[in-house]
């Protein structure tokens, strides 16, 4: 093959390859936003803790409250700032204490302490939503479970 023809063939190949790359870009890393993390990792756990408290399932309340705490810890690391808001500081000043109170209530298996802490947690969710200018997101104690495939009754050891 004459030299110039070879060069044209190589150039054509490079063009074809980059066109194919543009059509099939490599898969990007999935980066959920704050609203995604709230919907996926915070909202269902807030709900499950509420149902388990109704069921007096203290072992599970302790477990799931800890999961919720970890979900907030991961949000603190992944989304420390959202718009102009310091999410890490807001988490520390809003939900941390009620989460601790919930764990304490579950340890002593006290329904009144549980309800008190759960109400404070829910109020903290809403206080943060208001501080972050998303006050239209209103959280409340659940009315029944959408997780019909999970049994929240206490199990015998």
List interacting residues with ligand HEC (CB under 6 A). 33-35, 38-39, 42-43, 46, 82, 87, 90-91, 94-95, 121, 124-125, 128-129, 132, 134, 137, 139
Q: Which is nearer to ligand HEC, 24 or 119 (CB)?
A: 119
Q: Which is nearer to ligand HEC, 113 or 132 (CB)?
A: 132
77: closest CA among 138, 18, 31?
31
Q: How far is the CB of 52 from ligand HEC (least distance, A)?
A: 14
Determine the Cα–Cα distance for residues 157 and 154; give it in Å rounded to an integer: 9
Q: How far is the CB of 143 from ligand HEC (least distance, A)?
A: 15
Q: Which is nearer to ligand HEC, 21 or 119 (CB)?
A: 119
Q: How far is the CB of 17 from ligand HEC (least distance, A)?
A: 38
Burial of 60 (0-12, 13-18, 19+ CB in 10 A): buried
Report helix, strand or coil for 101. Answer: helix
Antiparallel, parallel or unpaired: β 85-86 and 81-82: antiparallel
């Amino acid at each position: 093959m004459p030299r110039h023809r070879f060069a044209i063939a190589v150039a054509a190949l490079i063009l074809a390859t980059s066109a194919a790359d543009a059509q099939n870009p490599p898969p990007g890393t999935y980066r959920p936003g704050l609203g995604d993390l709230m919907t996926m990792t915070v909202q269902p756990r807030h709900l499950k803790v509420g149902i388990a408290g109704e069921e007096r399932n203290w072992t599970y309340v302790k477990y799931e409250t800890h999961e919720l705490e970890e979900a907030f810890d991961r949000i603190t690391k992944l989304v420390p700032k959202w718009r102009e808001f310091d999410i890490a500081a807001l988490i520390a000043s809003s939900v941390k204490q009620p989460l601790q109170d919930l764990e304490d209530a579950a340890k002593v298996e006290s329904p009144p302490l549980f309800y008190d802490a759960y109400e404070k947690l829910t109020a903290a969710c809403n206080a943060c939503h208001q501080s972050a200018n998303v006050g239209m997101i209103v959280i409340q104690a659940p009315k029944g479970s959408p997780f019909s495939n999970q049994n929240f009754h206490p199990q015998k050891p």
